[in-house]
Amino acid sequence: MIENYKEAFEKTRSAGVIAAGALDEVFKIAKPGIRTDQIDNLCYEYLNDHGAYSAPLFYRGFPKSCCTSANHVVCHGIPSDKILKDGDIINVDVTALKDGWHGDTSRTFEIGEVSIKGKKLVQTTYEAMMKGIKIIKEDIFLGDIGATIQSHVEAEGFSVVQDFCGHGIGKQFHKEPNVLHYGKKGTGEKIKAGMIFTIEPMINLGKYETKTLNDGWTAVTKDKSLSAQFEHTIGVTKDGYEIFTLSKN
Ligand code: MF3
Ligand code: CO
Ligand code: CO
Protein backbone atom coordinates (compact mmCIF):
# COMPACT_ATOMS: atom_id res chain seq x y z
CA MET A 1 0.00 0.00 0.00
CA ILE A 2 2.24 2.80 1.24
CA GLU A 3 5.87 2.05 0.33
CA ASN A 4 7.49 5.00 2.00
CA TYR A 5 5.59 5.99 5.07
CA LYS A 6 8.41 7.65 6.99
CA GLU A 7 7.05 11.18 6.47
CA ALA A 8 3.50 10.20 7.39
CA PHE A 9 4.72 8.55 10.59
CA GLU A 10 6.95 11.49 11.57
CA LYS A 11 4.26 14.07 11.02
CA THR A 12 1.53 12.07 12.73
CA ARG A 13 3.89 11.53 15.66
CA SER A 14 4.53 15.31 15.94
CA ALA A 15 0.80 16.04 15.96
CA GLY A 16 0.08 13.12 18.29
CA VAL A 17 2.59 14.14 20.94
CA ILE A 18 1.05 17.63 21.07
CA ALA A 19 -2.47 16.22 21.49
CA ALA A 20 -1.21 13.94 24.27
CA GLY A 21 0.56 16.87 25.92
CA ALA A 22 -2.72 18.80 25.99
CA LEU A 23 -4.37 15.88 27.82
CA ASP A 24 -1.51 15.81 30.35
CA GLU A 25 -2.36 19.45 31.14
CA VAL A 26 -6.09 18.70 31.30
CA PHE A 27 -5.35 15.98 33.87
CA LYS A 28 -3.82 18.63 36.16
CA ILE A 29 -6.99 20.76 36.22
CA ALA A 30 -9.58 17.95 36.11
CA LYS A 31 -10.96 18.51 39.60
CA PRO A 32 -14.42 19.13 41.12
CA GLY A 33 -15.60 22.70 40.47
CA ILE A 34 -14.02 23.19 37.05
CA ARG A 35 -16.15 24.07 34.00
CA THR A 36 -15.81 22.11 30.76
CA ASP A 37 -15.20 25.36 28.85
CA GLN A 38 -12.08 25.86 30.99
CA ILE A 39 -10.83 22.52 29.67
CA ASP A 40 -11.66 23.74 26.17
CA ASN A 41 -9.71 26.98 26.66
CA LEU A 42 -6.72 25.06 27.94
CA CYS A 43 -6.76 22.79 24.87
CA TYR A 44 -7.11 25.74 22.50
CA GLU A 45 -4.16 27.55 24.11
CA TYR A 46 -1.96 24.47 24.42
CA LEU A 47 -2.38 23.51 20.76
CA ASN A 48 -1.69 27.04 19.59
CA ASP A 49 1.33 27.40 21.88
CA HIS A 50 2.76 24.23 20.30
CA GLY A 51 2.35 25.29 16.69
CA ALA A 52 -0.79 23.27 16.06
CA TYR A 53 -4.48 23.90 15.40
CA SER A 54 -7.47 22.19 16.92
CA ALA A 55 -8.95 19.99 14.19
CA PRO A 56 -12.42 19.81 15.81
CA LEU A 57 -12.82 23.62 15.95
CA PHE A 58 -15.35 24.43 13.18
CA TYR A 59 -15.11 20.87 11.84
CA ARG A 60 -18.55 20.32 10.26
CA GLY A 61 -19.74 23.20 12.43
CA PHE A 62 -18.43 21.86 15.76
CA PRO A 63 -18.08 25.01 17.90
CA LYS A 64 -15.21 24.15 20.30
CA SER A 65 -11.59 22.98 20.41
CA CYS A 66 -12.12 19.60 22.09
CA CYS A 67 -14.95 17.26 23.02
CA THR A 68 -15.90 16.91 26.69
CA SER A 69 -18.18 13.94 27.31
CA ALA A 70 -19.25 13.44 30.94
CA ASN A 71 -20.98 10.47 32.57
CA HIS A 72 -23.74 9.19 30.23
CA VAL A 73 -22.38 11.24 27.31
CA VAL A 74 -20.77 8.74 24.92
CA CYS A 75 -18.85 11.18 22.71
CA HIS A 76 -18.90 14.60 21.00
CA GLY A 77 -19.96 16.48 24.14
CA ILE A 78 -19.66 20.26 23.62
CA PRO A 79 -17.69 22.23 26.23
CA SER A 80 -19.95 24.65 28.11
CA ASP A 81 -20.41 26.32 31.50
CA LYS A 82 -21.17 22.88 32.96
CA ILE A 83 -19.38 22.44 36.28
CA LEU A 84 -17.77 19.09 37.01
CA LYS A 85 -18.55 17.57 40.37
CA ASP A 86 -17.08 14.97 42.66
CA GLY A 87 -17.71 11.46 41.27
CA ASP A 88 -18.09 12.46 37.61
CA ILE A 89 -16.17 10.77 34.82
CA ILE A 90 -15.33 12.81 31.74
CA ASN A 91 -13.73 11.97 28.43
CA VAL A 92 -11.68 14.73 26.84
CA ASP A 93 -10.91 14.19 23.14
CA VAL A 94 -8.22 16.31 21.50
CA THR A 95 -7.13 16.30 17.86
CA ALA A 96 -4.08 18.36 16.89
CA LEU A 97 -3.52 19.45 13.29
CA LYS A 98 0.18 20.16 12.80
CA ASP A 99 1.98 20.73 9.52
CA GLY A 100 -1.03 19.30 7.65
CA TRP A 101 -1.26 16.04 9.66
CA HIS A 102 -3.60 14.93 12.46
CA GLY A 103 -3.05 13.27 15.85
CA ASP A 104 -6.23 12.20 17.66
CA THR A 105 -6.40 10.99 21.27
CA SER A 106 -8.74 10.91 24.24
CA ARG A 107 -8.76 9.84 27.87
CA THR A 108 -11.45 9.49 30.50
CA PHE A 109 -10.64 11.35 33.72
CA GLU A 110 -12.06 10.65 37.15
CA ILE A 111 -13.23 13.77 38.97
CA GLY A 112 -12.59 13.40 42.68
CA GLU A 113 -13.76 10.09 44.12
CA VAL A 114 -15.59 7.92 41.57
CA SER A 115 -17.82 4.92 42.40
CA ILE A 116 -16.30 1.42 42.26
CA LYS A 117 -18.45 0.63 39.20
CA GLY A 118 -17.37 3.83 37.46
CA LYS A 119 -13.70 3.08 38.13
CA LYS A 120 -14.15 -0.47 36.82
CA LEU A 121 -15.73 0.90 33.65
CA VAL A 122 -12.88 3.37 33.06
CA GLN A 123 -10.21 0.75 33.73
CA THR A 124 -11.86 -1.87 31.52
CA THR A 125 -12.21 0.64 28.66
CA TYR A 126 -8.51 1.48 28.84
CA GLU A 127 -7.56 -2.20 28.98
CA ALA A 128 -9.82 -2.97 26.00
CA MET A 129 -8.16 -0.25 23.88
CA MET A 130 -4.67 -1.49 24.81
CA LYS A 131 -5.56 -5.15 24.15
CA GLY A 132 -6.87 -4.13 20.72
CA ILE A 133 -3.66 -2.22 20.01
CA LYS A 134 -1.25 -4.92 21.20
CA ILE A 135 -2.31 -7.49 18.60
CA ILE A 136 -1.61 -5.11 15.71
CA LYS A 137 0.86 -6.09 13.01
CA GLU A 138 0.81 -6.43 9.26
CA ASP A 139 -1.65 -9.03 7.89
CA ILE A 140 -4.04 -9.27 10.83
CA PHE A 141 -7.66 -8.37 10.07
CA LEU A 142 -9.53 -5.31 11.32
CA GLY A 143 -12.09 -7.74 12.75
CA ASP A 144 -9.38 -9.21 14.99
CA ILE A 145 -9.09 -5.84 16.74
CA GLY A 146 -12.85 -5.51 17.23
CA ALA A 147 -13.20 -9.07 18.49
CA THR A 148 -10.39 -8.59 21.02
CA ILE A 149 -11.96 -5.41 22.40
CA GLN A 150 -15.49 -6.82 22.50
CA SER A 151 -14.56 -10.03 24.30
CA HIS A 152 -12.68 -8.17 27.05
CA VAL A 153 -15.52 -5.69 27.55
CA GLU A 154 -18.33 -8.26 27.56
CA ALA A 155 -16.43 -10.52 29.98
CA GLU A 156 -16.75 -7.65 32.49
CA GLY A 157 -20.49 -7.27 31.78
CA PHE A 158 -20.18 -3.97 29.88
CA SER A 159 -21.23 -3.20 26.28
CA VAL A 160 -19.48 -1.85 23.18
CA VAL A 161 -21.02 1.17 21.42
CA GLN A 162 -21.71 0.35 17.76
CA ASP A 163 -22.80 3.76 16.44
CA PHE A 164 -19.26 5.23 16.41
CA CYS A 165 -15.95 3.73 15.38
CA GLY A 166 -12.25 4.37 14.96
CA HIS A 167 -11.04 5.71 11.61
CA GLY A 168 -8.16 6.11 9.26
CA ILE A 169 -6.40 9.45 9.81
CA GLY A 170 -3.62 11.42 8.18
CA LYS A 171 -3.87 14.60 6.15
CA GLN A 172 -7.61 14.00 6.52
CA PHE A 173 -9.20 13.94 10.01
CA HIS A 174 -11.50 11.02 9.23
CA LYS A 175 -10.88 8.62 6.35
CA GLU A 176 -11.15 4.94 5.50
CA PRO A 177 -11.06 2.40 7.00
CA ASN A 178 -13.76 2.32 9.68
CA VAL A 179 -12.29 0.56 12.70
CA LEU A 180 -15.12 -1.21 14.54
CA HIS A 181 -14.68 -2.00 18.23
CA TYR A 182 -16.69 -5.21 17.95
CA GLY A 183 -16.77 -8.04 15.45
CA LYS A 184 -15.38 -11.41 14.49
CA LYS A 185 -11.79 -12.57 14.10
CA GLY A 186 -10.66 -13.05 10.51
CA THR A 187 -13.24 -10.65 9.06
CA GLY A 188 -12.87 -7.25 7.42
CA GLU A 189 -9.90 -5.66 5.75
CA LYS A 190 -6.37 -7.03 6.19
CA ILE A 191 -4.16 -4.34 7.68
CA LYS A 192 -0.90 -3.34 6.01
CA ALA A 193 2.32 -1.69 7.20
CA GLY A 194 2.06 2.07 6.78
CA MET A 195 -1.62 2.31 7.66
CA ILE A 196 -2.50 4.92 10.27
CA PHE A 197 -5.79 4.74 12.18
CA THR A 198 -7.38 5.35 15.56
CA ILE A 199 -8.69 2.88 18.08
CA GLU A 200 -11.23 4.58 20.34
CA PRO A 201 -13.68 2.22 22.03
CA MET A 202 -16.72 3.73 23.74
CA ILE A 203 -17.91 1.35 26.45
CA ASN A 204 -21.20 1.54 28.36
CA LEU A 205 -22.06 0.31 31.84
CA GLY A 206 -25.54 -0.64 30.57
CA LYS A 207 -26.82 -1.23 27.04
CA TYR A 208 -24.90 -0.27 23.90
CA GLU A 209 -27.55 1.91 22.22
CA THR A 210 -26.97 5.64 21.84
CA LYS A 211 -28.94 8.66 20.70
CA THR A 212 -27.87 12.12 19.62
CA LEU A 213 -29.28 15.19 21.35
CA ASN A 214 -30.92 18.14 19.59
CA ASP A 215 -27.63 20.08 19.43
CA GLY A 216 -26.74 17.63 16.64
CA TRP A 217 -23.53 16.50 18.37
CA THR A 218 -23.87 15.21 21.92
CA ALA A 219 -24.26 11.41 21.84
CA VAL A 220 -25.63 9.83 25.01
CA THR A 221 -26.48 6.31 26.17
CA LYS A 222 -30.18 5.59 25.59
CA ASP A 223 -30.51 4.02 29.04
CA LYS A 224 -28.59 6.93 30.71
CA SER A 225 -25.87 4.57 31.93
CA LEU A 226 -22.25 5.71 32.30
CA SER A 227 -19.97 5.60 29.27
CA ALA A 228 -16.15 5.75 29.04
CA GLN A 229 -13.71 6.08 26.14
CA PHE A 230 -9.99 6.12 25.40
CA GLU A 231 -8.36 6.80 22.03
CA HIS A 232 -4.92 6.46 20.49
CA THR A 233 -3.69 7.09 16.96
CA ILE A 234 -1.47 4.23 15.82
CA GLY A 235 0.67 3.29 12.83
CA VAL A 236 1.07 -0.26 11.56
CA THR A 237 4.58 -1.62 11.02
CA LYS A 238 5.77 -4.94 9.52
CA ASP A 239 6.08 -6.61 12.89
CA GLY A 240 3.91 -4.45 15.12
CA TYR A 241 2.70 -0.94 15.67
CA GLU A 242 3.65 2.49 16.95
CA ILE A 243 1.40 4.54 19.22
CA PHE A 244 1.73 8.17 18.08
CA THR A 245 -0.27 9.74 20.91
CA LEU A 246 1.83 8.82 23.94
CA SER A 247 2.84 11.42 26.51
CA LYS A 248 6.45 12.51 26.34
CA ASN A 249 6.93 12.41 30.11
N1 MF3 B 1 -11.96 13.43 17.91
C2 MF3 B 1 -13.17 12.78 17.52
C3 MF3 B 1 -12.78 11.45 17.00
O4 MF3 B 1 -12.18 10.73 17.73
C5 MF3 B 1 -13.93 13.56 16.51
C6 MF3 B 1 -14.44 14.83 17.00
S7 MF3 B 1 -15.20 15.64 15.71
C8 MF3 B 1 -15.93 16.92 16.47
O9 MF3 B 1 -12.92 11.08 15.87
F10 MF3 B 1 -16.33 17.68 15.52
F11 MF3 B 1 -16.91 16.45 17.25
F12 MF3 B 1 -15.08 17.52 17.23
CO1 CO C 1 -10.89 9.69 16.43
CO1 CO D 1 -10.82 11.79 18.94
Concatenate the DSSP letters of all residues of 62-106 into one string: --SSSEEEETTEEE-PPP-SPBP-TT-EEEEEEEEEETTEEEEEE
What is the spatial distance between Cα 169 and Cα 197, in angstroms, rounded to a whole number?
5
Residue 2: what pLDDT?
Answer: 52
Q: Is the pLDDT of residue 231 over 60?
A: yes
Phi, psi for 16 (deg, rounded to 5)? -65, -40
Q: Determine the Cα–Cα distance for residues 65 and 83; give it in Å rounded to an integer.
A: 18
Neighbour tally for 127: CB within 10 Å: 15
Is residue 214's pLDDT more than 90?
Answer: yes
Is residue 18 predicted with pLDDT exceeding 60?
Answer: yes
Confidence band, pLDDT 50/70/90 cuts, at residue 249: confident
State the pTM of this model: 0.98
Distance from the alpha carbon of residue 130 to the mean position of ligand 1, in angstroms: 20
As a whole number, the mean pLDDT across the chain is 97
pLDDT of 3 above 80: no
pLDDT at 122 over 60: yes
Mean pLDDT of the 28-57 span: 98
* Mean pLDDT (whole number) for 90-116: 98
Task: Place 95 in a pLDDT band, splitting at 50, 70 and 90.
Answer: very high
DSSP state, 246? -
As a whole number, mean pLDDT of residues 17-24 equals: 98
> What distance in angstroms lies between residue 93's CA and the mean position of ligand 3's atoms?
5
pLDDT per residue as tens digits for the range 193-212: 999 999 999 999 999 999 99
Q: Above 60 in pLDDT, residue 44?
A: yes
Decide: 76 in ligand 1 pocket, CB within 6 A: yes
In this predicted structure, what is the pLDDT of residue 1?
A: 47
Check if 58 has its Cβ closer than 6 Å to any atom of ligand 1: no
Ligand 1 atom nearest to CA at 217 = 11
Is residue 46's pLDDT more than 60? Answer: yes
